[in-house]
């Protein structure tokens, strides 16, 4: 099973409505939890299966203007790492994919609705790259895969020093904002 539903409603937390908060947590986190619970009813008796969840790099590092989205993706990481340990005894594998930005309608929405500049630090990758990450996760039984791998390495390293994250963020946002403007220009062509 592949959990791939997700929404984003970009905004500073102070500007988030309760409806926006609830919608993002219901779709991004509870949707994956509920679907996984249902498929486990089939996989456990069969003593096999693989649950793959498409999360986001925002599940590893914070994204300003997307605090609730980030929280939902951090929650997915904790939940599915725990599930990978719990379901091992049933021969069920669990993998989470952490993509950097992907060229989808959601990214276009985010670009035109005040999304986080951090989303645009790297060039958007094709959905096919994420399919390749899913296949790799299944074939190699990997609990976590970042796409691209370089973004995952940087994200994991920087999160070892939370104080450094807050110091570097203004620079990263400035760089991301420049790329975001380029991305928006490309959308308009």
Predicted pLDDT of residue 167: 92
- Full residue range of the structural domain in which residue 50 is found: 2-104+124-149
Confidence of residue 132 (pLDDT cuts 50, 70, 90): very high
CATH code, domain carrying 53: 3.40.50.720
Predicted pLDDT of residue 106: 94
Answer yes or no: is 109 within a domain: no
Residue 69 is a catalytic residue = yes
Answer yes or no: is 164 within a domain: no
Using a 10 angstrom Cβ sphere, with 0-12 exposed, 13-18 middle and 19 or more buried, the burial of residue 26 is middle
Exactly one of 65, 69, 109, 183 is catalytic; name it: 69
Answer yes or no: is 75 within a domain: yes
Confidence of residue 4 (pLDDT cuts 50, 70, 90): very high
Answer yes or no: is 167 within a domain: no
Q: Quick: pLDDT tens for 116-126.
A: 999 999 999 99
Answer yes or no: is 29 within a domain: yes
With a cut of 90, say whether residue 189 has pLDDT above it: no
State the total domains in the chain.
1
Note if the pTM is more than 0.85.
Answer: yes
Predicted pLDDT of residue 187: 86
Average pLDDT for the chain = 95
Confidence of residue 188 (pLDDT cuts 50, 70, 90): confident
Answer yes or no: is 113 within a domain: no
């Amino acid at each position: 099973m592949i959990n791939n539903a997700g929404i984003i409603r970009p905004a500073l937390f102070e500007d988030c409505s309760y409806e926006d908060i609830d919608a993002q947590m219901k779709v991004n986190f509870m949707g994956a939890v509920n679907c996984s619970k249902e498929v486990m009813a089939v996989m456990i008796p069969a003593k096999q299966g693989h649950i793959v969840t498409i999360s986001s790099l925002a599940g590893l590092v914070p994204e300003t203007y997307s605090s609730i989205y980030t929280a939902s993706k951090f929650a997915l990481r904790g939940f599915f790492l725990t599930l990978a340990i719990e379901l091992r005894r049933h021969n069920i594998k669990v993998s989470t994919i952490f993509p950097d930005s992907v060229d989808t309608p959601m990214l276009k929405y985010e670009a035109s609705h005040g999304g986080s500049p951090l989303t645009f630090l790297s060039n958007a990758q094709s959905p096919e790259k994420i399919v390749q990450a899913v296949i790799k996760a299944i074939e190699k039984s990997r609990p976590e895969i970042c796409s691209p791998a370089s973004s995952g390495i940087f994200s994991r390293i920087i999160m070892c020093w939370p104080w450094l994250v807050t110091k570097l963020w203004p620079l990263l946002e400035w760089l991301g904002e420049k790329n975001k403007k380029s991305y928006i220009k490309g959308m308009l062509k």
